[in-house]
Amino acid sequence: MSIEFVTNPHQKEEDKTLDLTLRPGSFGDYIGQETLKQNLQILIQAAKHRQESIEHVLLHGSPGLGKTTLAHIIAKELGANIRVTSGPAIDRAGDLAAILTNLEEGDILFIDEIHRLNKIIEETLYPAMEDFALDLVAGKGAAARTLRLELPKFTIIGATTRMSLISAPLRDRFGAHYKLQFYTDQEISQVVHRSAKILAMQIDEESSSEIARRSRRTPRIANRLLKRVRDYAQVHNGGKVNLEMSKAALELLAIDDLGLDEVDRKLLLTIIEKFDGGPVGLQTLAAATAEEEDTLEEIHEPFLMQIGFLARTPRGRVTTPSAYRHLGLPIPASQNLLAI
Ligand SMILES: Nc1ncnc2c1ncn2[C@@H]1O[C@H](COP(=O)(O)OP(=O)(O)OP(=O)(O)O)[C@@H](O)[C@H]1O
Ligand SMILES: [Mg+2]
């Protein structure tokens, strides 16, 4: 078990059962994201009222914030069937045709990682989303003909962690766009309590706050940490979770008291020590830290920006005085100009 494993918000094999066990099944159980929930509920009620299917929905947000969970809740609230696929799983236009022609009126097609659809598939999807029609090419060369196949009225729910990689034409075919926000510590604490209850664990307020503070404002990580704390308490305290056990378990995982992991700290320290606090470009930073650009951009930067340790300027990334303070470093005079 690497340390990075615990704080990386992407779903891992080990999470699959946990995600399923702990996944909220209704809006009532889904903590936080209040505005988004209200908007979705209106969308759903209006569609139900008109006995129509809802417009295509695009969910955007960092890994582990609850996009897949929401897609399932929407389907349930609509009383609709949900088919699940993902961008990389649809290899050929034929795969997509098979999926689409098997849909029934009112079905939901959930396409996870929709930013990873290839261009040809994406273009096949346009008429399907717009006109509920599928254009198939039959035959080859001069004899090739296009057949237009009618599809039942269905709804696509697309999920993405990388909005910037979605092409404008695809984006525009979604009638509703929603961005999931990072959760507050208080909301994550509620997630922890809810999960503890499902796992039949006793947990006090102090311990749940401790876990919440270190969960990168992400429910999936909170659930993972809760599980680690439970295991630690099992071994060291006869299964009783308290603040002392929680702290000890989390320190062992090298997650600091704000949820920063080793890569976050390395990233900040590199900007501070090698680039005088920035600005520095992503590519240079990836090379200097020996981390993938994608990983830095998708996982570490959003969280560090969220907590105000990192800012993006047109000339690159800069660290803020809060980052220096957290790392116990003196704030250089030039950094005082950044009022964060
Ligand atoms: N609002 C919430 N309330 C309670 N638990 C939540 C909430 N959102 C997510 N979770 C928990 O976090 C887990 C991860 O959520 P989910 O799989 O929906 O994230 P995701 O955004 O689809 O992630 P990815 O981008 O990796 O696909 C869920 O199984 C659930 O247990
Ligand atoms: Mg998901």
CATH of the domain at 244: 1.10.8.60
Q: Which residue's alpha carbon is at the smallest distance from atom 12 of ligand 1?
A: 220
Q: Which residue's alpha carbon is at the smallest distance from atom 15 of ligand 1?
A: 66
Ligand 1 contact, 301 CB (< 6 A): no
* Last residue in a domain, options 225, 252, 279: 252
Note whether 191 and 276 are same-domain residues.
Answer: no
* Closest ligand by atom to 23 CA: 1
Note whether 167 and 142 are same-domain residues.
Answer: yes
Domain annotation covers residue 130: yes
Domain annotation covers residue 9: no
What percentage of the chain reaches a pLDDT higher than 90? 81
pLDDT of residue 1: 42
Q: What is the pLDDT of residues 25-36, one digit of tens each?
A: 999 999 999 999
* Last residue in a domain, options 228, 252, 276: 252
Q: What is the pLDDT of residues 100-110, one digit of tens each?
A: 999 999 999 99
CATH number at residue 268: 1.10.10.10
The domain in which residue 234 lies consists of 185-252
Domain annotation covers residue 21: no
Note whether 135 and 229 are same-domain residues.
Answer: no
Domain annotation covers residue 146: yes
Q: What share of the chain is helix, strand, coil (3-state, %, to 5)?
A: 50, 15, 35
Task: Round to whole Å and give the CA distance between 231 and 227.
Answer: 6
Count of C-beta atoms within a 10 Å radius of residue 25: 11
Q: What is the pLDDT of residues 49-82, one digit of tens each?
A: 999 999 999 999 999 999 999 999 999 999 999 9
Q: Which residue's alpha carbon is at the smallest distance from atom 7 of ligand 1?
A: 66
CA 198 to chain centre: 22
C-beta of residue 155 within 8 angstroms of C-beta of residue 53: yes
Quick one: pLDDT band at residue 116, thresholds 50, 70, 90? very high
Give the position, in ligand 1's atom list, of the atom nearest the Cα of 65: 21
Domain annotation covers residue 26: no
Domain annotation covers residue 65: yes
Give me the sign of the Cα torsion angle 288, 290, 291, 292: positive
159 Cα: distance to centroid of ligand 2 (angstroms): 7
Domain annotation covers residue 23: no
Domain annotation covers residue 47: yes
Tokens of 333: 């005079």
Q: Is 67 among the residues known to form the active site?
A: yes
Note whether 133 and 56 are same-domain residues.
Answer: yes
pLDDT of residue 146: 85
Choice between 7 and 52, residue whose per-residue pLDDT is larger: 52
* Last residue in a domain, options 221, 252, 283: 252
The active-site residue out of 220, 224, 227, 228 is: 220
Q: What is the pLDDT of residues 255-271, one digit of tens each?
A: 898 999 989 999 999 99
Note whether 58 and 151 are same-domain residues.
Answer: yes
3-class DSSP string for 141-185: HHHCEEEEEECCCCEEEEEECCHHHCCHHHHHCCCEEEECCCCCH
pTM of the model: 0.91
pLDDT of residue 154: 97
φ and ψ at residue 317, rounded to 5 degrees: -85, 140
pLDDT of residue 93: 87
Q: Is 160 among the residues known to form the active site?
A: no
Note whether 197 and 320 are same-domain residues.
Answer: no
For residue 127, cis peptide bond before it (omega within 30 degrees of 0): no
pLDDT of residue 165: 92
Q: Is 162 among the residues known to form the active site?
A: no
Residue of 23, 160, 190, 224 to test ligand 1 pocket, by largest number of atoms within 8 Å of CB? 23
The active-site residue out of 161, 218, 270, 319 is: 161
Task: Round to whole Å and give the CA distance between 89 and 117.
Answer: 8
Note whether 123 and 169 are same-domain residues.
Answer: yes
Note whether 299 and 228 are same-domain residues.
Answer: no
For the chain, how many structural domains are there in total?
Answer: 3
219 Cα: distance to centroid of ligand 1 (angstroms): 6
Note whether 101 and 222 are same-domain residues.
Answer: no
Q: Is 161 among the residues known to form the active site?
A: yes
Beta bridge partners of 155: 108
Tokens of 21: 């066990």
Q: Is 228 among the residues known to form the active site?
A: no
Quick one: pLDDT band at residue 13, thresholds 50, 70, 90? confident
Note whether 138 and 274 are same-domain residues.
Answer: no
CATH number at residue 56: 3.40.50.300
Note whether 144 and 218 are same-domain residues.
Answer: no
Mean pLDDT, residues 191-205 taken together: 95
Note whether 64 and 163 are same-domain residues.
Answer: yes
